[in-house]
Structure 1
Amino acid sequence: MSQPTAGGDAAPATMRAIVVTRPGGLDALEIKDVPVPVRKPGWVRIKVKAFGVNESEVTTRKGESDAEVTYPRVPGIEGVGVVDETDEGSGLRPGQQVATMMGGMGRTYDGAYAQYVTVPAGQVIPFETSLPWDVVGALPEMFQTAYGSLTTGLDLKAGQTLLIRGGTSTVGLSAATMAKEIGATVISTTRNAGRAEELRAVGVDHPVVDDGHLAEKIRALVPQGVDAALELVGCSVLADTLRTVRRHGTVCFTGALAGQWSIPDFTPFMIPVGVRLTSYAGEAADLPADVFARQLQAIAGGRLKVPVAKVYRGLEQVRDAQAGVESGTTAGKHVVVLED
């Protein structure tokens, strides 16, 4: 059986959503009136309050995602809001604040660029906070990816030294704040020397300008090599990143901001002796609710900074938000807030 919608009101029959019917430019992001999604057993319907805008959604809009993406599609790999309808016994209740991300959202089924979204219950994270939706909306995907990379991928410990390659990306900025909270020394990269202060603002100890050749620069700072490196730029620089890490240190491949996901003619001998290479591509379950709650408390208490680039109001501004992501001129997350 289903629990009733929040406040006891029935959900409307239709909603507004961004729909991509065909790959294309920003004009492919069309606002349409569509049926409110019907919730399947084991799924949760969420009234969306805010969502972050991500590179992967730009890729989906352009038709550059992998074959699993089909059209028409409502994009959006993450969102925050309140439970509208759920199964009895799900552990969730109507009106409860929740976050959701990944798991095929906006790719194999419709995502969060809409007033309502339905997702499997297993990828719903409940929380309680008085933080505004524009702050919370920036968090799910970048926190999950950063946290999973630092913990599952790198097993980062207090006192260790971490290199983040791709530091001004949203995941890079989030990873820096989390790594400092863990107690690590953080070295983080930018291709633009003018953005070094943005890295220092989130606690980075050593901003480094990345000209494609980092190994010597990092070894000048840490002669024995860093303990851990988070690779967000991609395979085009991976061999160089591997050379920044000490013997028995670890590189975690998480992203490919430069667009290269594979290495032609790869050989394992490109990995320096004793250096470990792993990867991370996790899901919502990798960000436990208690960890998310601690992060929200740290934000509310001023101990953790949220890198928000710009906040947009309403679906009418989604094109502007994606344009902002594509421009790459402002560090941090672009967030869309939906008005009631």
Structure 2
Amino acid sequence: MKAVSIREHGGPEVLEWIEVEDPTPAPGEVVVDVVAGALNRADVMQRWGLYPLQPGWSPYPGLEVSGRIGAVGEGVTDWKVGDGVCALLTGGGYAQKVAVPAGQLLPVPKGTGLAEAAGLPEVTATVWSNLVMTAGLKAGETLLVHGGAGGVGTMAIQIAKALGARVVTTVGGPEKAAQARELGADVAIDYRTEDFAEYGPYDAILDVVGGDYLERNVRSLAVDGRLVVIGLQKGLEGRLDLAEIVFKRASVHGTTLRARTKEYKAEVVAAVRENVWPMIEDGTVKLLVERTVPMSDAAEGHRLLEAGGHLGKILLVNDGSA
């Protein structure tokens, strides 16, 4: 089979479409014949060398795919060869085939195309695990979502609204602000001209930005507020006022989904299937796809992602699979 390899750390040009060994399913795994994958910021960080791989992780990028099961490992009883699925991965999705623990598989939601479904597992699992399982977001609370035009942001806006929250989001420019409001955001803030702290306080904040947003995030929290940091686009360091945390009884969480155990991921996937899949199937929540590009031209996908002008997901489609 072929997969996208990272030749060396650097720009998109270091991504190469090369021949590699076919995966085989270990006990409890299946092999998915990949129809499509989707891009995530973690893939870019891995390419730059800012996301160190842990033992056992695939060297190939890609955290979510869709396709059909091509082989089933020992002990797998809920899935069979030929089933159409999408899957949450630890890596390896930029390929024609990938081995996946069976607990990280999801059926393709009704009304969603097989290729399109590649853009669902990572964002839905990220949003549900952080907003509900970590932050404990409740109906009637106010949520601030940073990066409301990205894959995670567009999904977070919709899921939070479906849960009954008031949603405020930051975006870059009036066009994206209008699009965020169409998705359900109650307030869309242009971060280039407005200070999101002025629109608080917030019961929960989902932050994909990091860096110097930390101080303003904490200052913007309500009493008993929760900040969940899941991205580091603006850097690794920020100022933390401990008095703000103590007197507000606030909490700050830093999380990544990729490094979690397969047991935890299976728990998240099960929760997503139970709670989010019905929202997708009845149209309450929609996946936004900005562009599809060939898997063999993943470098172009990375250029589009880093340019930052997209709304929603960018998909990588294997030849003949569109």
TM bracket, shorter-chain basis: 0.7 to 0.9
Partner of 1:231: 207
1:148, 1:286 within 8 Å by CA — same for their partners in 2? Answer: no
Partner of 1:258: 234
Give distance in 1, aligned partners of 2:25 and 2:16.
24
Task: Give the direction of change, closer, same or farther, for the CA distance of 1:71–1:21 in structure 2 (3 Å limit).
Answer: farther
Task: Verify: 1:277 aligned to 2:251, yes or no.
Answer: yes
Q: Aligned match of 1:64 in 50, 60, 83?
A: 50
The percent of aligned pairs where both chains have the same amino acid is 28
Partner of 2:10: 24
Task: Verify: 1:100 aligned to 2:96, yes or no.
Answer: no
Paired residues for 1:256-335 under 5 Å: 256-260=232-236, 262-263=237-238, 268-271=242-245, 273-279=247-253, 280-282=255-257, 283=260, 284-289=265-270, 291-292=272-273, 295-312=276-293, 314-335=294-315
Indicate the SS of the match to 1:258. Answer: coil
Task: Verify: 1:193 aligned to 2:186, yes or no.
Answer: no
2:84, 2:114 within 8 Å by CA — same for their partners in 1? Answer: no
Task: Verify: 1:82 aligned to 2:68, yes or no.
Answer: yes
Indicate the SS of the match to 1:173. Answer: helix
Indicate the SS of the match to 1:199. Answer: helix
Q: How many aligned positions are there? A: 311
Structure whose CA Rg is larger: 1
Task: Verify: 1:137 aligned to 2:118, yes or no.
Answer: yes
Give distance in 2, aligned partners of 1:160 and 1:71.
38
Indicate the SS of the match to 1:329. Answer: coil
By how many angstroms is 1:328 displaced? 0.4
Supply the AA of the counterpart residue of 1:277.
Answer: S
Partner of 1:208: 189
Partner of 2:104: 123
By how many angstroms is 1:318 displaced? 1.7
Supply the AA of the counterpart residue of 2:248.
Answer: G
Indicate the SS of the match to 1:305. Answer: coil
RMSD of equivalent CA atoms: 2.5
Indicate the SS of the match to 1:60. Answer: helix
1:308, 1:335 within 8 Å by CA — same for their partners in 2? Answer: yes
By how many angstroms is 1:145 displaced? 0.6
By how many angstroms is 1:299 displaced? 3.0
Deviates more, 1:32-41 or 1:178-187: 32-41
Indicate the SS of the match to 1:288. Answer: helix
Task: Give the direction of change, closer, same or farther, for the CA distance of 1:67–1:39 in structure 2 (3 Å limit).
Answer: closer
Supply the AA of the counterpart residue of 1:147.
Answer: W
By how many angstroms is 1:324 displaced? 0.6
Task: Give the direction of change, closer, same or farther, for the CA distance of 1:253–1:275 in structure 2 (3 Å limit).
Answer: farther
Structure-1-length-normalised TM-score: 0.82
By how many angstroms is 1:166 displaced? 2.4
Deviates more, 1:23-32 or 1:269-278: 269-278
Indicate the SS of the match to 1:273. Answer: helix
Deviates more, 1:237-246 or 1:37-46: 37-46
- Give the unaligned 5+ runs of structure 1: 1-14, 106-110, 220-224
- Give the unaligned 5+ runs of structure 2: none
Give distance in 2, aligned partners of 1:281 and 1:64.
14
By how many angstroms is 1:293 displaced? 5.9
1:309, 1:334 within 8 Å by CA — same for their partners in 2? Answer: yes
By how many angstroms is 1:235 displaced? 3.5
Indicate the SS of the match to 1:322. Answer: helix
Give distance in 2, aligned partners of 1:213 and 1:85.
52
Give distance in 2, aligned partners of 1:73 and 1:27.
17
Give distance in 2, aligned partners of 1:290 and 1:237.
30
1:83, 1:93 within 8 Å by CA — same for their partners in 2? Answer: yes
Indicate the SS of the match to 1:137. Answer: helix
